[in-house]
Amino acid sequence: MKTSLGTIRSGLGTDTSSLIALLIVVVLGFSIASPQFMTAANLGSMGFQMPLLGLLTLAMLAPIISGGFNLAVTYTANMSGLTLAWVLLQFGGKDAGVGALVLGCLAAIAVGMLAGAIIGFVVAYVGAHPILVSLAMMIFLRGLGEFLTRGGDISGVPDYMRVLGHETLIGIPVPLLLFGAVAIVWHILLRRTQHGFSVTMTGSNQMAAEYSGLHTKRTLVLLYTLSGLLCAIAGILMLARFNSVRVGHGEALLLVTVLACFLGGVDPFGGYGRVVPVVVSLVILQILSSGLNLIGANQHMATAVWGLFLIAVMVLRSEQVKMVLGFFKKS
């Protein structure tokens, strides 16, 4: 039995197995605190809420692994959602056909990938810091969106888009299935491909990666472009979920994406990060939010708890704490 547990722990990785243990503790705690926590209604609600944050977090993950950042993830998603909504509006809004939806989705994806590609190009070939470049893109997209919408929103989508935002398939929320599929592809891309290896090596030491023959500049452009693609998918889902979209939708999620990445063991300085522990960390954060809501805590309390979690993670991963724990283990 001990050997089996060790094998499972080794296969999952220390970060993932620790997060799963934390997940079990959190689930048990809220199950005891609130009888409604483990009901189908609450679990389904969490299944509909988490995918949007999950997609934005995956869009943030690859840039952090590469040693960078993408502060424009939420506004890229908003602009992509606005693009889709505008195309649907030109073809009748609620009466738009499936062809208009396909055209709008392609346009939304193109906008998201273009925003990401611009960030990647400036970071790779100009040498500007990723935080500054993505911050500039965030400000540009926000200003452009406010100008185009006059600070309002675009609403009214065809009823068939409810399938993406509100329906279930074999009892599982469709948004959750979409997120699961994207997470699997993202995991394979980052762990099983040459591009993923190049992203990790670029984050570890870009100069050494270049001397090793890796095309780090091309890698950076591609990873930010793919980050923009995930933002576009999030923007499409956002429109389907809320039946409207505006520039400010989801802006509070930006820092939570960073929190989810760091809670999932991603190195803030680049060079290491995996999809699986980040997904587990997303589940933990969603459970904290829903659980606190069920026991009557203010929504802002969830934000405060998230912040405390990040502080605790940073402390527990510090070298000093590791040294103290190692000393007691030897004793």
Q: How far apart are CA 130 and CA 206, in angstroms?
A: 14
Mean pLDDT value of segment 209-224: 93
Tens-digit pLDDT profile for residues 122-132: 999 999 999 99
Task: Please state which of the ranges 190-194, 199-203, 282-286, 314-318 shows the lowest mean pLDDT.
Answer: 314-318
Q: How many residues does the chain have?
A: 331
Task: Please state which of the ranges 120-129, 179-188, 283-292, 296-305 shows the lowest mean pLDDT.
Answer: 296-305
Mean pLDDT value of segment 204-226: 92
Residue 248: pLDDT over 60: yes
Phi, psi for residue 68 in degrees, rounded to 5: -120, -150
Tens-digit pLDDT profile for residues 58-72: 999 999 999 999 999
Q: How far apart are CA 130 and CA 305, in angstroms?
A: 28
Mean predicted lDDT score pLDDT of the chain: 86
Task: Please state which of the ranges 2-6, 47-51, 197-201 shows the lowest mean pLDDT.
Answer: 2-6
Q: What is the pLDDT of residue 242?
A: 87
Task: Count CB atoms within 10 A of the CB of residue 105.
Answer: 19
Which of 41, 223, 190 is closest to 120 using CA atoms?
Answer: 223
Tens-digit pLDDT profile for residues 14-46: 678 888 888 898 899 888 888 888 888 888 989
Which of 313, 206, 190 is closest to 261 using CA atoms?
Answer: 313
pTM of the model: 0.89
Q: What is the pLDDT of residue 3?
A: 47
Long-range Cβ pairs for the range 297-304 (8 Å, 24+): none
Q: Using DSSP, state whether 327 is helix, strand or coil.
A: helix
Task: Please state which of the ranges 1-5, 95-99, 198-202 shows the lowest mean pLDDT.
Answer: 1-5
Q: What is the pLDDT of residue 316?
A: 67
Q: What is the pLDDT of residue 330?
A: 54
Q: How far apart are CA 61 and CA 278, in angstroms?
A: 9
Q: What is the pLDDT of residue 16?
A: 81
Q: Using DSSP, state whether 66 is helix, strand or coil.
A: coil
91 versus 112: the higher-pLDDT residue is 112
